[in-house]
Structure 1
Amino acid sequence: MFFHQDATFDQLSIHRVGNKSQEEFYILSEQPVPLENDDVLPPLLMQYFMSPFAKVNEVYRLFHPNGELALNEIYHFTKQFFKEQLAFHEYSQQIAKHLYEVCMHPKIKPGEVYVVSLNNVQIEGENYDAVGIFKSENKETYLKVYPNQGGFQLDYEEEAININKLDKGVIIVNVEEEEGYKVLVVDQTNKTEAVYWKDDFLKIKIRNDDFNQTGNYLKVYKNFVNEKLDDMFELEKADKIDLLNKSLNYFKEKETFDQEEFEEEVIGNPIAATMFNDFRSGFEDEFDSPFQSSFDIADKAVKKMEASYKTVLKLDKNFHVYLHGKREYIEKGFDEEKGMNYYKLYFENES
């Protein structure tokens, strides 16, 4: 868990980065922003920079595709800064120049880059120093109303920044250096060109901890049920919902995941279990994220995935049937006289 309420920053540098593919330029400031005697701006900046990370659970690591971590530019410069081999402002300039080099998609917007050195960032119960890199791309127009000669005057400001809408950000925590640090990422834009922030600029991969093991396993099993089981078995929609409910209940009720136990209690069919293992192996190979045969179940990951599990039968526009269990209490049939499908439900009490 990430906790930033006690975090502070003592250095801030701002630069502007354009789109290299559009022959725009970058502008590097000559010195950091002085904030020593300002009691208002630092709290506002902390809100702007840090509040979007309050609900971030995924922890990433810096990496390089060929396996040589030192070739990751962000890792290289950040390591030098953490080891006091590179001054803060020079570090921020190197970060801005690297960002400029990867802004090659024609739709990437120019914007300001903020680099801060952070103190007392808490992650997973421990306090560390960190660096934050943030980019503002989208500007807004704000109205300003103020008293004037017994009434009010209206004015506006264009190209202003909404401190409640951070576009992109990353926090690199000074811990586990040899593994690529612990990295938290925010990217509010989900368009195709936005992948440059994670893939080209940072070069990160998910840290394969209990949170990600839990979430990914549920995700892979959901995709398996919805996409692959039909290749071998004839399943009704209610059957698929029942299988998904069983998997979700397993992760809700257990504290530790066990692969053999899951195959026996949830999948319950050797052929289907073999199919799932093959399907899961494809995910592991594609994302370089192997599953452990046993891991502690992360409740937050279960709650996050639960929202994506659809447990509702939608029948035309007339009925929604919510299935929470007891598959044997619902039967599907076809009424030849009406020429329509039907479901028969069995229950004991009506409320």
Structure 2
Amino acid sequence: MITFFEASLDAVSVHHVGNQSQNEMYSLSDNPLELQDEIIPNLLKQYFLTPFEKTNEVYHLMHNSGDLNLNEIYSFATKIFEDESTFHETSQLIARHLYSVSNHPKIKAGEIYVALFRQVQIEGELLDAIGVFKSENKETYLKVYPDKGGFSVDYEEDGININKLDKGCLIFNTGKEDGYKVAVIDKAGSQEAAVYWKDDFLQLKIRNDNFNQTTNVLGVYKNFVTQKLDEEFEMDKADKIDLLNRSMKYFKEKDTFDMDEFTGEVIGNPQAIESFKSYKEQYESEFDMPIADSFEISANAVKKQSRVYKSVLKLDKNFHIYIHGNKELIEKGFDDEKAMNYYKVYFKEEQ
């Protein structure tokens, strides 16, 4: 969890970065912004930091070679943390690095902000942090003001909505040997252009903690039920929804995940259990993300995943059936006379 009620913004530099593939250039400022009053710093803190209040995932910087010093952002962050007098000069290097990876045709030009914060809290620690942010989408704003006994309306184009941060990261001055703690925001407009911020510019790897372990198991299990089970077992959608509901019930009621307990209580069928474990191993190998057989369940991860766990049967365009409890109270059949499928639902009273 990230909070910033004690945070201060000590310095910020702004540059402009275009898209190489569109023959756009970059423009570097000569000096950092002058923060002379409290209004602009407070607005910038709201713009930069508010989106991170809802992030739970923690990443770290990495490099495929295993040598962290080859990660440009790691080197730049270390330089600033060790000698803050290099802040503006290093912010220019960060802007140049962003330009060097901005070569997909769908990447938008925009301003890059490099900021230095004090007293930002993550996981209970108050730490200095370096923020790197990019604004890509501009908006038009109307301004209404008193004029000659009434009101007049004017407008301003290419303004920035401080409630809509496009991209950002916070690099916290802790865990240097592991690539620092990093939180990230990326509201990419297209999947093709999305990878450049996390993968090419920052080179991030998610930290394999309880939040991520919980997220991974629920995600792998959901994909297994919705995509894999049909290949080996005959199941209708109501049965699949029941399996998903049982898994969510397990995670909401337990404090600790145990693989054997989970598969026994939720899946039950020995063949399906072996199939799930094999499916999980394929995921671990493909994404280089091992899943422990036992870990503490993250309530935040369960809450987040519950939003994408669907418990709805959609029947043509006429009916939706929400299945929350006992699947034995719903029966599926086929009416020969109407040549249509049907569901029979048992209940005691209407509400």
Q: TM-score range by the shorter chain?
A: over 0.9
Amino acid at match of 1:235: M
Superposed CA deviations along residues 85-137 of structure 1, whole A, max 9, x for unmatched, are: 76111121111111111111122221111111011110111111100011111
Amino acid at match of 1:287: F
Moved more, 297-306 or 324-333: 324-333
Q: Is the Cα–Cα contact under 8 Å of residues 80 and 86 in structure 1 kept in the other structure?
A: no
Superposed CA deviations along residues 173-229 of structure 1, whole A, max 9, x for unmatched, are: 111111111111111224121321111101111111111111111011000011111
In structure 1, the partner of 2:309 is: 309
In structure 2, the partner of 1:120 is: 119
Superposed CA deviations along residues 149-186 of structure 1, whole A, max 9, x for unmatched, are: 32323222222211111111111111111111111111
Task: Map residues 244-283 of structure 1 onto 2, 5 A cutoff.
Answer: 244-283=244-283
> In 2, distance between residues paired with 1:107 and 1:341?
46
RMSD: 1.4
Task: Map residues 127-138 of structure 1 onto 2, 5 A cutoff.
Answer: 127-138=126-137
Identify unmatched segments of 5+ residues in structure 1: none
Task: Map residues 148-297 of structure 1 onto 2, 5 A cutoff.
Answer: 148-191=147-190, 192-297=192-297
Q: Is the Cα–Cα contact under 8 Å of residues 146 and 152 in structure 1 kept in the other structure?
A: yes
In structure 1, the partner of 2:330 is: 330
> In 2, distance between residues paired with 1:263 and 1:107?
43
Offset of 1:310 from its aligned partner? 1.1
> In 1, distance between residues paired with 2:155 and 2:330?
61
In structure 1, the partner of 2:48 is: 49
Amino acid at match of 2:88: H
> In 1, distance between residues paired with 2:72 and 2:329?
59
Offset of 1:327 from its aligned partner? 2.0
Amino acid at match of 1:89: H
> In 2, distance between residues paired with 1:262 and 1:285?
21
1:143 aligns with 2:142: yes
> In 1, distance between residues paired with 2:60 and 2:85?
21
> In 2, distance between residues paired with 1:346 and 1:152?
63
Offset of 1:329 from its aligned partner? 2.0
Offset of 1:284 from its aligned partner? 1.1
> In 1, distance between residues paired with 2:217 and 2:2?
23
Superposed CA deviations along residues 307-351 of structure 1, whole A, max 9, x for unmatched, are: 111111122233222112222222211121222222222333443
> In 1, distance between residues paired with 2:136 and 2:344?
55
> In 1, distance between residues paired with 2:141 and 2:230?
54
Amino acid at match of 1:285: S
In structure 1, the partner of 2:95 is: 96
> In 2, distance between residues paired with 1:65 and 1:257?
31
Q: What TM-score, normalized to structure 2?
A: 0.96
Amino acid at match of 2:287: F
The alpha-carbon distance between structure 1 residues 10 and 99, as it changes in their structure 2 partners (threshold 3 A), is same
The alpha-carbon distance between structure 1 residues 149 and 331, as it changes in their structure 2 partners (threshold 3 A), is closer
Identify unmatched segments of 5+ residues in structure 2: none
Q: Is the Cα–Cα contact under 8 Å of residues 61 and 182 in structure 1 kept in the other structure?
A: yes
In structure 1, the partner of 2:17 is: 17
Q: Is the Cα–Cα contact under 8 Å of residues 10 and 117 in structure 1 kept in the other structure?
A: yes
Q: What TM-score, normalized to structure 1?
A: 0.96
Task: Map residues 19-38 of structure 1 onto 2, 5 A cutoff.
Answer: 19-35=19-35, 37-38=36-37
User: Which SS does the other structure have where 1:152 is aligned?
Assistant: strand
The alpha-carbon distance between structure 1 residues 350 and 23, as it changes in their structure 2 partners (threshold 3 A), is closer
1:106 aligns with 2:105: yes
User: Which SS does the other structure have where 1:91 is aligned?
Assistant: helix
Amino acid at match of 1:145: V
User: Which SS does the other structure have where 2:73 is aligned?
Assistant: helix
After the TM superposition, which parts of structure 1 deviate over 4 Å for at least 4 consecutive aligned residues? Answer: none
Tell me the number of residue pairs that the alignment of Structure 1 and Structure 2 aligns: 350
> In 2, distance between residues paired with 1:270 and 1:119?
54
